[in-house]
Structure 1
Amino acid sequence: MKAVKFLPLMLLFLVASCSSVKVTSDYDTSTDFTKYKTYAFYKKGIDKVEISDLDKRRILKALESELAAKGFTKSSNPDVLVNIFTKAHQKVDVYNNNSMHIGWHPWYYGPNYGMHISKYTEGTLFIDLIDSNKKELIWQGIGSGGLTTSGNVAKKEERIREFVAEIMTNYPPVIE
């Protein structure tokens, strides 16, 4: 009976673990990030990203919004070039509750083993900021998490905005 009480909590945990975005970043410690005020997208790099043009536009739109909120303006003579890169792979989570209990099931009454399998696609989005004069990477943000593959465009757009917003919380870096 205890296993039945904890099942909704465990399912909530599995869903929550798929929905969060794990974020990390790296940067050049000798860089003065306060001098960067303008940006442009690095078209040559973005064209190589192997996702749909629709998703590229969604990511770039979300980036434009986040960069504007940080005081950046788009420019034909930018301080930084913004590039993206993506990866995706299938993930399988298995929760196995080895305790056996007797309980009601729609098809039978008897032993019930608590094995739950969850399959989803995990995506990783890399956002690179490149000093346009030096042509050097100065900052990289990386976000990984479950992707929305249900076909619901609104949820997909929301998930992309969430990924970009979470990654960009690490910019500018807090230099200690």
Structure 2
Amino acid sequence: MKTIKFLPLLLLFIVASCDSVQVYSDYDKSADFKQYKTFAFLKSGIDKVEISDLDKKRILNAIDQQLQAKGFTKSENPDLLVNIFTKSRKEVSVNQFNAGWGYGWGYGWNPYMYGGHTTVSSTTEGTLYIDLIDAKKKELIWQGEGIGTLSKEMDRKDEIVTNIVTKILAQYPPDLSKKK
């Protein structure tokens, strides 16, 4: 009976872990973040990103929405230039399960084992970097990084991208009260 009560908790953990995103950020401690009010995308950098144009558009729209929600405005003469780049890594998992024991007690090769089952699955872990560059100095002042599992489900792509970008940009501006 305890197993039945434990199963929903296990399923909840598995579902929650699928949507988890790890985020990190780094910044120039000498930068005055209060001076930045406007932004523009760094077209030359974004054009080099090797992802589909549709995914690129999703990312840029999510960044645009998040920065405007923080009070920034787009400008032809911006304070900040926004650049992105991505990395991906494919993980392959092989799981074997044997549902029975024959002669030999399950050690080594056993022709009498039954119910053997092998599954192979793969996931793609992606990393999105968002760079904020001082437009006048042409220096990187802040970088956010989000790592999560990518989905091929078209219906969920907007949601996943928005979630990752929101979590990354939640760390901007940095908490300067911790600055020593």
> TM (normalized to structure 2)?
0.79
Alignment of 1:10-159 (within 5 A): 10-92=10-92, 119-150=122-153, 152=154, 154-159=155-160
Match of 1:106 in 2: none
Q: Percent identity?
A: 59
Letter in structure 2 aligned against 1:15:
V
Cα distance 1:72–1:118, how it changes in 2: closer, same or farther (>3 A)?
Answer: same
Match of 1:174 in 2: 175
- Rg: which structure is higher? 2
Q: Which sections of structure 2, spanning at least 5 residues, go unmatched?
A: 101-113
Cα distance 1:88–1:4, how it changes in 2: closer, same or farther (>3 A)?
Answer: farther
Larger mean CA deviation between 3-12 and 31-40 belongs to 3-12
Q: Residue deviations 1:82-118, cap 9 Å, x none?
A: 00001111124578999x9xxxxxxxxxx98999865
Query: Offset of 1:16 from its aligned partner?
Result: 2.1
Matched positions, count: 166
Q: Does 1:163 align with 2:147?
A: no
The structure whose residues are more often strand, as a share, is 1
Letter in structure 2 aligned against 1:19:
D
Q: Which sections of structure 1, spanning at least 5 residues, go unmatched?
A: 101-110
